[in-house]
Amino acid sequence: MKRYILIYNPQAGDAGFKHRLDEVIHYLKLQRCVVLPMRTAAKEDMREIVLLGRQLAAAGIIVAGGDGTLHETVNAMLATGFDVPVGIIPSGTSNDFAQGLNIGYDLERCCRIIAGGKWRNTDVGKVNDLYFLNVASAGLFTSVAHNVETPLKNTVGKLAYYLKGLGQLPHFNTYRMKITADGQVIEDEVLFFLVMNSGMVGSFPKLAPQARIDDGKLDLLIVNKCRIPELMGLFVSIMAGNHIQHRNVAYLQAQQIHIECDSRIESDLDGERGPLLPLSISTIAGRIKVFCE
């Protein structure tokens, strides 16, 4: 019987996964899998849990949570050198990476995918000495996830992010940035930027139309200075998937990206606090294995 470590975040999403833990154990037991559930309450827990998985020679790490829990798990795995496939049970407020893989929310199907043993290699982005699976960003909206209260997220879900983001609009700033992407230099007043591994960010599936999680490249989307009416029009274009042609948008792919800024602003990695700018970002091709169909 294969052994798995199950990392679950009791506060993720609507905080309801903990009430379905027995279902997961049941479904995986039917597939001849043994599960050791590990509850995480802080980032500091992850390294210890991953090291336990390596000590027990676990066949994989299962993550029940959102993009943030997945982010913390992957960083702990890369830091400790524990190279096993990751299984995902999406149960957070934001599950963009899992949605991009079409994993879905059906609990039994998630367990079948993991027990099936099929996996694919996915790229990882490296920012200074940290890693991200889905997106690195800075500027307008990128600190929203850090400032939304957990009870609000548990009550209204991802809508909480959008409500908080709208509150930033009257006070938005632009930042003078120098962005170098595979030798191409862009200097401008930037509203925000996204460096994406997959095309699914904020539940918008077409933000990076050329993005692939296994192409060895990152997709850079830059939104330059514009007035609020123009910005609202841009959001409409994003929803329609035709924003790449917008005059305030720059979009390109690169393997190496360096971002400098006149201001010391905070970045965001997969919805978690990232380092202050400047950022040195690179792609590590095929570094993580993820269970999939």
Residue positions annotated with a catalytic role? 272
Half-sphere exposure of 167 (CA within 13 A, CB side): 10
Burial per residue of 123-141, b for 16 or more beta-carbon CB atoms within 10 angstroms, e otherwise: bbbbbeebbbbbbbbbbbb
What are the residues whose beta carbons fall under 8 Å from the beta carbon of 249, sequence distance 6 or more?
Answer: 221, 222, 223, 224, 234, 243
Single-letter code of the amino acid located at 111: C
**What gap in Å lies between CA 270 and CA 278, rounded to an integer?**
18
